[in-house]
Amino acid sequence: MRIIILSRDASLYSTSRLKEAGESRGHEVRVIDHLRCYMNITPHNPKVMYQGQPLEGIDAVIPRIGASNTFYGAAVVRQFEIMGVFTANESQAISRSRDKLRCLQILSRKGIGLPVTGFAHSTKDIDGLLDIVGGAPLVIKLLEGTQGIGVVLAETQQAATSVIEAFRGLDANILVQEFIKEAGGMDIRCFVIGDKVIAAMKRQGAPGEFRSNLHRGGSAAKVRLTPEERSTAVRAAKAMGLRVAGVDLLRSNHGPVIMEVNSSPGLEGIENATDIDVAGKIIEFLEKNAGPDKTRDNIKY
């Protein structure tokens, strides 16, 4: 197969591992900077152009789109879909998962476990918003934040009110969520490909840190999932329309709850923690499923 990886940096661990895995299985793999692509949008012969040449004869695309480039990156993926090229994740699914509020609303509609979450526009409604999630301690999240940035644990009502007023004073959109104290600063990353969880790791936050992000000093280790956790992760990925996803969940007193569904999950942490060839499994999935005109995103919201 001829495979394109859409990534801004060929030296990144995830990108280089995918390229290595594809080439080791006999495929031609090329890394393309999606921000350098441009498109010929026409009814009869749509094209994606790169460095003055059309990208033709492509069998599959693996999008590795950064959050800050979602709009343009998704447009490039969509153009490949219009050309009939199979994509590991489709453009609509990427856009859907990147909108945190929309993501939670879709998961809620599907009856998938979530932390109690509130969303409001006016600071006049702060008291009611805090009541929804059961009061302090609670977690305040910027909708545009990534990798733990813009996530604040407010331990008192006064602190929560001050943080919300500050964020809204900057015209920033925020979510307010219940604090799952029993998780103890630990979450679980489930790596979903197709309809299976192929790897899972637990991430433990550094001492005194409630966020478990590895780049914030957290540690990772292989974990055994319960059947409910496995099912919840797969259902969450399917609700987003994602074929390849990193699903983050917490173990709460009322079962697993989803924190985030990631359309470009990193490979380094989970491969190192589990010794599973996740990159190879993504390539294997493409081998089994890629084909012309197999775009199948029928989710209407």
Topology of domain 117-179 in CATH is Dna Ligase; domain 1 (3.30.1490)
Residues 6+ apart with CB under 8 A from 178: 115, 116, 117, 133, 134, 138, 139
Lowest mean pLDDT among 27-41, 134-148, 186-200, 219-233: 134-148
Mean pLDDT of 256-280: 96
**What pTM was computed for the model?**
0.89
Q: Does residue 208 register a pLDDT over 70?
A: no
CATH architecture of 2-96: 3-Layer(aba) Sandwich (3.40)
Return the axis-axis angle of helices 227-240 and 91-98, rounded to nearest 10°.
110
| Widest Cα–Cα separation across the chain | 60
Take residue 162 and report the two structure tokens written for it.
Answer: 């001050």
Assigned CATH for 97-113+182-288: 3.30.470.20
Report the share of the chain in percent with pLDDT over 90: 74
pLDDT at 174: 86
Q: Give me the phi and psi of 219, to 5 degrees please.
A: -120, 160
pLDDT tens-place string over residues 21-75: 999 999 999 999 999 999 999 988 999 999 999 999 999 999 999 998 999 999 9
Q: Does residue 210 register a pLDDT over 70?
A: no
Per-residue confidence band for 222, with pLDDT thresholds at 50, 70 and 90: very high
List the domain boundaries for the chain: 2-96, 97-113+182-288, 117-179
Residue 153: its H or E element? strand 151-154
Pairing of strands 53-54, 60-63: unpaired
pLDDT tens-place string over residues 81-98: 999 999 999 999 999 999
Residue 151 or residue 192, greater confidence? 192
| Average pLDDT for the chain | 91
What 3-state class would DSSP assign to 63?
Answer: strand
